[in-house]
Amino acid sequence: MRRLALIVALLLAPLAAPCPARAQPVLNVYNWTDYIDPYVVQRFQQETGIRIRYDVYDSLETLEGKLSAGRSGYDLVVPTSEPTFARLVRAGALLPLDRARIPNWRNLDTGLMARASGADPGNAHGAIYLWGTVGLGLRLDRIRAIAPDLALDGLDVLLKPENARRLAGCGLAVMDSATDVLPSVLRWLGRNPDSADPADLRAAEAALLAIRPQLRAIPGSGALLDMLATGEICVALTYSGDVIQAAARAREARRGVEIGYAAPAAGPQIFFDMLAIPADAPHPEAAHAFIDFLLRPDNIAAVSSHVRYPNAVPASRPLITEAVRDDLNVYPPEAALAGAFVAGTPGPQAERLRSRLWSRFRAGR
């Protein structure tokens, strides 16, 4: 996180000096860690004269807590469609977008936007930035050495206790996000991923506690990405794009760490990260300008090439670097997404149950 903040700060330093004649327009962005191409940020500043202040987070809980308190000071945020974005929409915490200010809205994939509309009827408050799935990051070289007969095609690799015990020596991790982990565990159990039934949630808790002694860490996604890339862990339940980033870093380091990704066999959770403007944003005009800028095919192609997550602008596809564009983990074929699901938003009672469950899981009791 600090590394990304430093890169952006260095890139933007020449533009940070105040204009002596009049104050420079400002855009305050709050986004996931390692989730932007710094040169795209620099290009926006150069083209528009709008100065960007850029902060990062590594969990939806952090983002939601910041916005729920109000007066965050941010102009643009990137919440995941369900449940954070959906809850913010229902709470009136987001500004309806003025599409007249976003002519590049026409570039968005209507099919993907329709999937995201469950969280935001009519797509009134957000545009898809990037999307992905939740699955397993695997250090293939170590797993092959320890368990050459193990099928690496689903969550059994981690969630079956006998497999977790077998692989514990090379390091297991689950990202610290009940929002993104519990739906996948419930689906693995054959239950409704959106279930509020206490019996279903107890079953999910039991499944997680059964492997808790074997886990090396329950980190935020940014830390987990680093642990996977350096080979510190060999199995991680996390976001697809983070695994793909980790694999690229491991290849660049040339230390023999081979990273792969496996989507759940029963169908992965698919998520959409949305470009949205807080209702009390101090500079909504600048936020609209940045959304429009990001939906331009060349700019969002540069973002996808850099962070290795797919975007929702079909015209950008030919502009994405070949290694990313042709990676089936980045852009899975339609058949691989046939069983994919978008998690819903739990009600208040279910949310309390899930929160308590997650606290017990983290504590290991």
Regions in the chain scoring below 50 on pLDDT = 1-21
Q: What is the pLDDT of residue 22?
A: 57
Q: What is the pLDDT of residue 333?
A: 85
Structural domains of the chain sorted by starting position, each given as residue range(s) with its CATH number in brackets: 2-131+271-332 (3.40.190.10), 132-269+341-363 (3.40.190.10)
- Write down the pTM of the prediction: 0.84
Q: What is the pLDDT of residue 7?
A: 46
Residue 64 and residue 62: Cα distance in Å, rounded? 6
Helix H or strand E encompassing 195: none
Q: What is the pLDDT of residue 339?
A: 85
Q: What is the pLDDT of residue 20?
A: 46
Residue 19 and residue 4: Cα distance in Å, rounded? 26
- Structure-token pair, residue 276: 């949205």
98-151 pLDDT tens trace: 999 999 999 999 999 999 998 999 999 999 999 999 999 999 999 999 999 999
| Count of helices and strands (H, E) across the chain | 16, 8
- Angle at which helices 221-229 and 240-253 pack, to 10 degrees? 40
Of 89, 24, 29, give the one whose Cα is nearest residue 57: 29
User: Is the separation of the CB atoms in 59 and 176 below 8 Å?
Assistant: yes
User: Is the separation of the CB atoms in 180 and 60 below 8 Å?
Assistant: yes
Q: What is the pLDDT of residue 23?
A: 67
Residue 100 and residue 103: Cα distance in Å, rounded? 6
Q: What is the pLDDT of residue 8?
A: 47
Residue 106 and residue 229: Cα distance in Å, rounded? 37
